[in-house]
Structure 1
Amino acid sequence: MRSYTRQYDVALLGATGFTATLVAQVFAATLTSEIRWLIAGRNYDKLRGLLEKLRKLNPEGPVPDIQSIDVVNDNLTELARSTKVIVNAIGPYTRYGRPVVEACAANGTSYVDFSTETPWIEEMILIYHDLARENHATIIPAIGNSSSPSALIALLLADQYRILHGNDVREIVSCYGMKINGMSGGSLSSVVDVVDTYGIRHLLSPNPYRLCPSKETKLSQTPTSIPFLGHIKDPILGHLATSFTAPGNEAIVNRSQHPQQSIAQHPSFIYKEYMPATSTLQAIAIHMLTKLGILMLALRPFRTLLNRLKPASGSGPSAEITRTEKLAITAVARGEDGKELVAEYIYNGPMYYHTAILGTAAVAVLLELWRGTDRDDSGGDAGQRRDPDMSGILTPSCLGMPFVERLRAAGVKFDVLV
């Protein structure tokens, strides 16, 4: 395992993008003075403008360096070797993400991103998981609204069920309710790019075990059947409907179970996610509209229209529009003993800011894991994290309760309802 001087604690790539700007603002407001960080992107002038805003936001905070970088055409080795944690906010990841993952996996650099592009994550696992383990790199895709809350609520329920009832959870059913009033240009570009590259099969016939670590695991687990017309009525959660984001979140939770063993250890563990509905008819309507939307995405003219109508790159909904947004997740864990346990995850506020909070909290935990490295004469940090259980392409739940506690401190209501 190679060791490099780490000049920076954290580097934020694509810093002038809509989500990344929010991340930079949270960094500026919360990072302690000894943290050395970098904002990077293609447009140097925009980076300088962002730097001035960050200085005004927190005059006493650590001032980031700036660097112009093109992740497609530039060699990222030096950046990866000089940085402990890279936050990659340059999407669509299907188009731009691979070089950053490769550089981090090859150089023992921790990595997080905000991807919702499940087929791309699967590709990165197949290509770079073993390399990341060899070099003790922690690679965590999908740290944002999807799929951190899903992975964390499953983690919390599985841990607490085992503590309270002495058994492993057999099933977790989650009701994932998000009120979002607008999407950024980058989010819509990601949806279009994934369909352009991988088609719609993963959306129409999702396999919740596609991110599991081996063909044997995938083949041993058969996808659970979809309820008739997408409707289910849970005795605790009520009416539930098909969720567009569920396939990716379910895949992340199932990966958390197998390579990390950070969730349930029951051999037939099932995690299912839905969105809330008020009645059977509404659930059926949601299901039909969701499937229709997916079929529309298969039409190139429709995707072209979306590209033309989406917000400009780097832009997104205003603060006024997003003021009333909310994420509310309620999930119930059940065991073979018939016992149940309920947990909820609630955040009131803009969803993209919530993503920024998640990214910042994840970076803080990863930096804690870097503590104890040797310091060289130039003031940089040499050495690397040496915990093999935290190496490879993992999921947000690998950050455990330290991640949960930082989210609670940032205003997320996250509790088991006993």
Structure 2
Amino acid sequence: MARKQHNRQYDIVVFGATGYTGKYTAQYITTHLPTHLKWAVAGRSESKLQQLINDIKPLNPDRTQPAIEIANLSDADLSSLAKKTYILISTVGPYSRLGEHAFKACAENGTHYLDVTGEVPWVSKMIQKYESTAKSSGALMFPQIGIESAPADLVTFSLASTLRSQVGAKTGDVTVSIHKLSSSPSGGTLSTVFTIADVFSVGELQAAYKPYALSPVPNPTPGPARSLLSRLTGLITVPELGLLTSSVASTTDAALVQRSWGLLSTLPGKKAEAYGNKFSFREFMKPRNWLTGIGIHIGLVFLQLIIVAPLLRNILSKKVVQPGFGPDPETASRDEIEYRGIATAEGDAKKQAACKAWFNGSAYYLTGILLAEAASTLLEEEDLGLPEGGIYTPACLGQPLIDRLGRAGFHFETNLLVN
């Protein structure tokens, strides 16, 4: 597929390429994207960037090797970098502390942007500060496009597409389950967990995580009711999904999915893909048994308490893996990731769709795949139905992105359920 024509020096720049996620992204670009791609790796250390290039070159010696761009975390450096590239991939986090320079630079210079943040309050802040700027400049901006939230967003899109295309129905309730996630967090992920409350107040955190806070339009539809026992234990049984418990990513993923609902229902080029006026979303995890499920729920309650308790937060943050590090590649290669989802048609509970999405390999390599294939979608797909600029979600890249991910090993299997 031909690349879009542009007047920039590079097609893609990976900023933060020597970090844990950045390295996986560079590896995937090297082995899977077109060999004539014009790209660069960027960061603060020329020696580390050169070592990265030396490490990835044997993976595909025939391809065009990336250039090196030196960029510090400043408005001036990031603006200069953004002007050189059609797409900027930023893997430099925690984003609430380090991410705004790159986001601002892309919004102001009409540079398409991708990141892997899971920091919903930061995304909310970026939308408030820079969405109008991105619309004016033509920048298509996609925060939260890594493992943190993209799978749940794309599973929901696939479920809604199946109900719409096969039975002509809008989507009502969606339940997503993280069925398997045998992966250890990287230092960057842990750092984000323990620093976000240093940047945002409790009030700001609560406001950002309110239902549909990131959506451009409100949705007053309440989700399915849960019993008091279910809320206390975290346990719930969902037909077709079985026994489930509280999910570590439920509020983060819900914020993105709910923004997708609002965007698809209001963007002129996307209204045909809108979910439904009475849409609701919820997410859980699959425990081994009911006892494990209660334990996970209690652990997540304590984690929330730790995040808002400065003393405990500071003590624990010094004991976790530091940014730039994570599971060794051999261990990570044995990761198993699987999402499942059930969607019910709006106004007809007998019409349902089920989705299974799975990947075998490192969760952080999957993040690299998501970033690179989203960039390829922007670079090669002629009509995505999006305006010239704005802040969007993975679901806004729709089926073209899902198809690319399937070819890359992240498989989506979605079907109608026969009741």
Alignment TM-score, normalising by the size of structure 1? 0.89
Match of 1:342 in 2: 354
8 A contact 2:162–2:415 mirrored in 1: no
Q: CA separation of 1:17/1:115 partners in 2, compared to 1, >3 Å: closer, same or farther?
A: same
User: What's the counterpart of residue 114 of structure 1?
Assistant: 116
Q: CA deviation at 1:64?
A: 0.8
Q: Is the 8 A contact 1:182 1:321 kept in 2?
A: no
The letter of the residue matching 1:211 is: L
Aligned match for 2:256, one of 247, 252, 257: 252
TM-superposed CA distance for 1:311, in Å, is 2.3
Q: Indicate the residue corresponding to 2:181 in structure 1.
A: 179
- The alpha-carbon deviation at position 168 of structure 1 amounts to 0.2
Partner secondary structure for residue 11 of structure 2: strand
State the alpha-carbon separation in 2 of the partners of residues 390 and 346 from structure 1.
Answer: 33
Residue type of the partner of 1:54?
Answer: I
Q: Which segment is superposed worse, 53-62 or 176-185? A: 176-185
Shift of 1:307: 2.5
Q: Identify the range of structure 1 (220-229 vs 27-36) with the bigger mean alpha-carbon deviation.
A: 220-229
Shift of 1:73: 5.8
Secondary structure of 1:70 counterpart = coil
Structure 2 residue aligned with 1:82? 84
Deviation at 1:97, TM superposition (A): 1.0
CA gap of 1:136–1:101, structure 2 versus 1, over 3 A, is: same
Output the amino acid matched with 2:294. Answer: I
Q: 8 Å contact 1:88–1:111 — kept in the other structure?
A: yes
Superimposed CA distance per residue, residues 28-77 of structure 1 (whole angstroms, 9 cap, x where no aligned partner):
11222321111010111111111111222211011111011112364322
Give me the identity figure in percent.
31
Structure 2 unaligned blocks of 5 or more = none
Q: Deviations over 1:242-274 (max 9, x none)?
A: 112110111101111112335543212001111
CA positional deviation for 1:224: 6.7
Letter in 2 for 1:42: R
Specify the SS of the correspondent of 2:133: helix
Contiguous gaps of at least 5 residues in structure 1? 372-384
Q: Does 1:59 align with 2:61?
A: yes
SS of the residue corresponding to residue 171 of structure 2 reads: coil
> How far does residue 319 in structure 1 lie from its aligned partner after superposition?
1.9
**Number of aligned residue pairs:** 399
The alignment partner of 2:358 has SS state of strand
Partner residue of 2:236 out of 229, 232, 239: 232
Report the equivalent of 2:366.
Answer: 354
Aligned partner (choices 294, 305, 308) of residue 318 of structure 2: 308
Verify the 8 A CA contact 2:75 2:102 in the aligned structure 1: no
- What is the rounded CA distance, in whole Å, between the counterparts of 1:414 and 1:363 in structure 2? 19
Q: Note the alpha carbon deviations across 1:210-260, whole angstroms, 9 max, x for none.
A: 11125xx26x45677664222221122111111121101111011111123
Output the CA distance in 1 between the equivalents of 2:117 and 2:379: 21
CA distance in 2, matches of 1:251, 1:165: 27
Q: Aligned pair 1:169/2:167, yes or no?
A: no
SS of the residue 1:324 aligns to? coil
Report 1:92-107 matches (<5 A): 92-107=94-109
**2:239 is matched by which residue type in structure 1?**
P
Q: Who is 2:210 aligned against?
A: 207
Match of 1:190 in 2: 192
Q: CA deviation at 1:126?
A: 0.9
Q: Distance in 1 between matches of 2:388 and 2:177?
A: 29
> Residues 133 and 388 of structure 1 are in contact (CA less than 8 Å); yes or no, is this contact kept in structure 2?
no
- State the one-letter code of the partner of 1:391: G
Q: Does residue 16 in structure 1 map to residue 15 in structure 2? A: no
Aligned counterparts of 2:170 and 2:337: Cα–Cα separation in 1? 27
Q: Distance in 1 between matches of 2:385 and 2:81?
A: 22
Larger mean CA deviation between 86-95 and 179-188 belongs to: 179-188
Q: Find out whether 1:414 has 2:412 as its counterpart.
A: yes
The answer to whether the 8 A contact 2:208-2:214 is kept is no
* SS of 1:316 mapped into structure 2: coil
CA contact (8 A) 1:240 1:276 kept: yes
**Which whole-Å deviations, capped at 9, do the CAs of 1:335-392 have from their partners, x for residues lacking one?**
22121111110111111111111111111101114x7xxxxxxxxxxxxx99653621
